[in-house]
């Protein structure tokens, strides 16, 4: 896959760069003449991934780049962002799209135009081996007084608060990778992320890490993500969707997502309208 690089805001300054590219990239013709789309990612494998030499991959960017290439946009340039900053950054035209595995949820559908679903997964907990506090749901976390690690502005933070976990016990980790270290160090008692994210972290922690996964837990749905666009860029979103649907039908979509562990069928069976609770 063509190398896609991390966008670094250079001497010309973020605002100038944003103004320059945003003006050109308000629609498909703008992206085509720009030659790339600026995407927000979180660096949470296997959804999004940045290697030490700046290579961007992961199921989200790989699907987005494959669709964009068919639309005549040859590359992506990625910026790492916290989940909670992705939609404000998109609206401020710092990015053209969010291709980070952003879950399609009604409150987000108010703010952005989502593509049809691309990546679906259940939620899970990373815990110390043997799950010593018996944490099997966010309600267990609330009643036990355990400290739960979450990524900032993500779905797990919201689920924890909604389940009654006190704000003081919801610990925002600085980046997706830090959570397993904080769990090992005892700074948190449990780390909440989707199943594939925790699986990836456990693989990297290796045998003898003293960590394990608990999943799935009752009462939490399978979430599905989509690419997020500005509401005013709905024509770009619609053009993106036409190609995504074709790739789902041809098997190209499955060939990209399934090696990462995602079910293509889960995304094909789901719809944005269902996840948004209405048109988006
Ligand atoms: O969209 C979200 O809120 C969630 N998505 C992923 C891929 N990881 C965690 C985050 O909370």
CB-ligand 1 contact for 191 (6 Å cutoff): no
Q: Ligand 1 centroid vs 8 CA: distance in angstroms?
A: 24
What was the pLDDT predicted at 231? Answer: 96
Q: For residue 160, is pLDDT > 80?
A: yes
Q: How confident is the model at residue 179 (pLDDT cuts 50, 70, 90)?
A: very high
HEC per residue, the chain: CCCCCECCCCCCCHHHHHHHHHHHCCCHHHHHHHCCEEEEECCCCCCCEECCCCCEECHHHHHHHHHHHHCCCCCEEEEECCHHHHHHHHHCCCCCEEEEEEECCHHHHCCEEECCCCEEECEEEEEECCCCCCCCCHHHHHHHCCCEEEECCCHHHHHHHHCCCCHHHEEEECCCCHHHHHHHCCCCCEEEEEHHHHHHHHHHHCCCCCEEEECCCCCCCCEEEEEEEEHHHHHHHHHHHHHHHHHHHHCHHHHHHHHHCCCHHHHHHCCHHHHHCCCC
Point out the ligand 1 atom lying closest to the alpha carbon of residue 225: 1
What was the pLDDT predicted at 51? Answer: 87
How does pLDDT run across 7-28, given as a tens digit for each residue? Answer: 433 333 444 444 444 444 459 9
How does pLDDT run across 74-129, given as a tens digit for each residue? Answer: 999 999 999 999 999 999 999 999 999 999 999 999 999 999 999 999 999 999 99
CB-ligand 1 contact for 173 (6 Å cutoff): no
What mean pLDDT, rounded, does the chain reach? Answer: 91
Burial class (CB in 10 A: 0-12, 13-18, 19+), 218: exposed
CB-ligand 1 contact for 157 (6 Å cutoff): no
Percent of the chain residues topping a pLDDT of 70: 91
Q: Give the max Cα distance, the chain.
A: 56
Contact 136, 217 (CB under 8 A): yes
CB-ligand 1 contact for 155 (6 Å cutoff): yes
Phi, psi of 205 (to 5 degrees): -70, -25
What was the pLDDT predicted at 23? Answer: 46
What was the pLDDT predicted at 43? Answer: 95
How does pLDDT run across 165-176, given as a tens digit for each residue? Answer: 999 999 999 999
Q: For residue 218, is pLDDT > 80?
A: no
How does pLDDT run across 249-270, given as a tens digit for each residue? Answer: 999 999 999 999 999 999 999 9
């Amino acid at each position: 896959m063509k190398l896609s690089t991390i966008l670094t805001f250079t001497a010309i300054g973020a605002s100038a760069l944003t103004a320059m590219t945003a003006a050109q990239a308000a629609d498909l013709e703008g992206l085509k003449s720009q030659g790339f789309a600026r995407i927000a990612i979180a660096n949470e494998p296997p959804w999004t991934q940045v290697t030490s030499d700046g290579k961007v991959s992961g199921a989200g960017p790989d699907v987005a780049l494959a669709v964009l290439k068919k639309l005549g946009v040859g590359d992506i340039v990625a910026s790492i962002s916290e989940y909670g900053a992705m939609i404000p950054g998109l609206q401020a035209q710092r990015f053209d799209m969010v291709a980070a595995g952003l879950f399609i949820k009604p409150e987000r559908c108010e703010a952005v135009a989502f593509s049809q679903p691309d990546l679906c997964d259940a939620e899970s907990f990373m815990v110390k081996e043997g799950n010593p506090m018996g944490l099997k749901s966010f309600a267990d976390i609330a009643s036990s007084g355990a400290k739960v690690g979450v990524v900032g502005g993500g779905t797990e933070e919201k689920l924890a608060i909604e389940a009654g976990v006190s704000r003081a016990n919801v610990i925002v980790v600085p980046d997706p990778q830090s959570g397993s270290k904080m769990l090992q160090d005892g700074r948190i008692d449990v780390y909440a992320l989707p199943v594939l994210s925790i699986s990836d972290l456990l693989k990297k922690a290796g045998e003898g890490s003293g960590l394990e996964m608990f999943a799935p837990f009752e009462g939490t749905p399978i979430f599905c993500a989509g690419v997020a666009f500005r509401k005013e860029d709905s024509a770009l979103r619609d053009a993106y969707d036409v190609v995504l649907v074709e790739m789902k039908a041809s098997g190209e979509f499955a060939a990209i997502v399934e090696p990462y562990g995602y079910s293509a069928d889960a995304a094909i069976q789901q719809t944005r309208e269902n996840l948004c609770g209405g048109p988006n």
